[in-house]
Amino acid sequence: MRQRRTFPRLLGSLLLVAAAGISCVGAAPAPAQATAARPLGEIVPAPASVRPAGAPYTLTAATRIRVDDDSRDARRIGSYLAAVLRPSTGYALPVTDDHGRGGIRLALGSRDRSLGEEGYRLESGRGGVTITARKPAGLFHGVQTLRQLLPAAVEKDTRQAGPWQISGGTITDSPRFGHRGAMLDVSRHFFTVDQVKLYIDQLALYKINKLHLHLSDDQGWRIAIDSWPRLTTHGGSTQVGGGPGGYYTKAQYKEILAHAASRYLEVIPEIDMPGHTNAALSSYAELNCDGVAPPLYTGTAVGFSSLCVPKAVTYDFVDDVVRELAALTPGKYLHIGGDEAHSTSHEDYVAFMDKAQAVVAKYGKTVVGWHQLTGAEPVEGAVAQYWGLDGTSAAEKAQVAKAAQNGTKLILSPADRIYLDMKYDKDTPLGLAWAGYVEVQRSYDWDPGAYLPGAPASSIAGVEAPLWSETISTSDHIEFMAFPRLPGVAELGWSPASTHDWDAYKVRLAAQGPRMAALGIDYYRSPQVPWPAG
Task: Tell the burial category of 186 from Cβ atoms under 10 Å away from its Cβ (0-12, 13-18, 19+).
Answer: buried
- Alpha carbon separation from 105 to 15, 51, 140 (Å, rounded): 21, 19, 13
Residues listed for the chain:
534
Rounded distance between C-alpha atoms, residue 105 and residue 400, angstroms:
46
Type of residue found at 67: V
Query: Dihedral angle at the C-alpha atoms of 390, 393, 396, 397, nearest 10 degrees?
Result: 40
Integer Cα distance of 117 and 519 in angstroms = 28
How far apart, in whole angstroms, are the C-alpha atoms of residue 406 and residue 455? 10
Pairing of strands 409-412, 383-386: parallel
For residue 517, which phi and psi values (nearest 5 degrees)?
-65, -40
**Residues noted as catalytic:** 340
DSSP-derived letter for residue 495 is S
CB 236 within 8 A of CB 229: no
Q: At what angle do helices 346-362 and 312-328 cross, to 10 degrees?
A: 40
Residue 458: Cβ within 10 Å count: 9
